[in-house]
Amino acid sequence: MSRRNPTPLAPLDTLFELKSGRVLPLPARLAGLYGSLRMPRAGPRPHIISNFVTTLDGVVSLNVKGHASGSDISGFSVQDRMVMGLLRAIADVVIIGTGTLGADHYHIWTAEDVFPDLADEYRQLRTALGKHGPPLNVIVSGSGQVDLDLPVFASGKVPVLIVTTTAGARRLRKHKASDAVEIRSVRSVGVMRASYIINQVRRVNAGKLILVEGGPQLLGYFYAEGVLDEQFLTLAPQIAGRQINDRQYSLVMGKMFAPHSPVWGTLVDLRRGGNHLFLRYSFP
């Protein structure tokens, strides 16, 4: 697959913005690129958001070796990576599953790693928000079958929490892990409930903003339990196409809501970057 020539890093056009919540203190360059970013004021429970990129026909991962990441979906959009970095910069916690980990073994879930060109601005923003150090990287793995030699675990650049089952924790503790890695288990029968994951996260990090970056099955748990507050969604101008009974992933996998219990969101923000649309929905 050839890389699509990405849109230059130009400011996003704000087409619609529901002006509620506090305006975050974005550094001048970030504010010039994104515009204003508003988030709800901190409450008793963490505010949980998700960020994905999807094709026009609803594919978020081609699920093909070498082409499973969001970059293949976005067309390697620099504006999409800028927004990814921005959301990681304001997050206290970034949660992913092993499928997302497997799509990019060498990634670390920080703003600087996804878009190094704005590393200084992202750090300035975190400092202005009173956040010291990178966000907690949370890896959810029911089986505990993860490679502890991968950079996210072994580099020491980020604090890491692995949330797994009792059996998964036993498997992981047979191997030596970095001092930056903590392992916590939940009692689970077949499903890692979102509420269990959040409870373990809050024992380690009391931050008020949690970012879920997937994958689709993990995100499905958060929607099913009604704990996801907002969905950031980049709509890429690509038709991926699908075979009947294929292996490509949509935004949510493993959970069925419609027609009996559809989950409806409210559009709170819409921006345009070239041919990409940057959507934001709330799920109160």
Q: Name the nearest CA neighbour of 37 among 73, 1, 74, 91.
A: 91
Quick check: is 29 in a domain? no
Contacts of 220 (CB under 8 A, 6+ apart): 252, 253, 254, 255
Quick check: is 233 in a domain? yes
Whether pLDDT at 1 is above 60? no
150-166 residue pLDDT tens: 999 999 999 999 999 99
Quick check: is 32 in a domain? no
| Predicted pLDDT at 82 | 98
> Which whole number is the average pLDDT over 134-147?
95
Q: Please count the structural domains in the chain.
A: 1
- 215: cis peptide before it, omega within 30°? yes
Quick check: is 3 in a domain? no
| Distance between CA atoms of residues 284 and 282, nearest Å | 6
| Predicted pLDDT at 43 | 85
Quick check: is 25 in a domain? no
Whether pLDDT at 149 is above 60? yes
Helix 216-224 / helix 194-204 crossing angle, nearest 10 deg: 100
Q: Which two tokens stand for residue 51?
A: 């960020």
| Predicted pLDDT at 189 | 65
Q: Name the nearest CA neighbour of 191 among 221, 234, 219.
A: 221
| Predicted pLDDT at 104 | 85
Quick check: is 124 in a domain? yes
37-73 residue pLDDT tens: 999 988 889 999 999 999 999 999 988 888 878 889 9
- SS3 at position 97: strand
| Predicted pLDDT at 199 | 95
For residue 203, the surrounding DSSP H or E stretch is helix 194-204
Range with lowest mean pLDDT among 61-75, 194-208, 267-281: 61-75
DSSP 11-35: PPEEEEE---SEEP---HHHHHHH-
The strand pair at 13-17 and 22-23 is best described as: unpaired
The strand pair at 160-165 and 136-141 is best described as: parallel
Domain range spanning residue 187? 47-282
Adjacent-strand bridge partners of 54: 235
Whether pLDDT at 132 is above 50? yes
DSSP-derived secondary structure letter, 55: -
Quick check: is 9 in a domain? no
Quick check: is 22 in a domain? no
| Distance between CA atoms of residues 72 and 182, nearest Å | 32
241-259 residue pLDDT tens: 988 777 789 999 999 999 9
Predicted TM-score (pTM) above 0.75: yes
> Which whole number is the average pLDDT over 209-227?
95
85-118 residue pLDDT tens: 999 999 999 999 998 998 888 999 999 999 999 9
| Distance between CA atoms of residues 86 and 108, nearest Å | 15
Contacts of 108 (CB under 8 A, 6+ apart): 137, 151, 152, 155, 157, 158
- CATH assignment at residue 239: 3.40.430.10
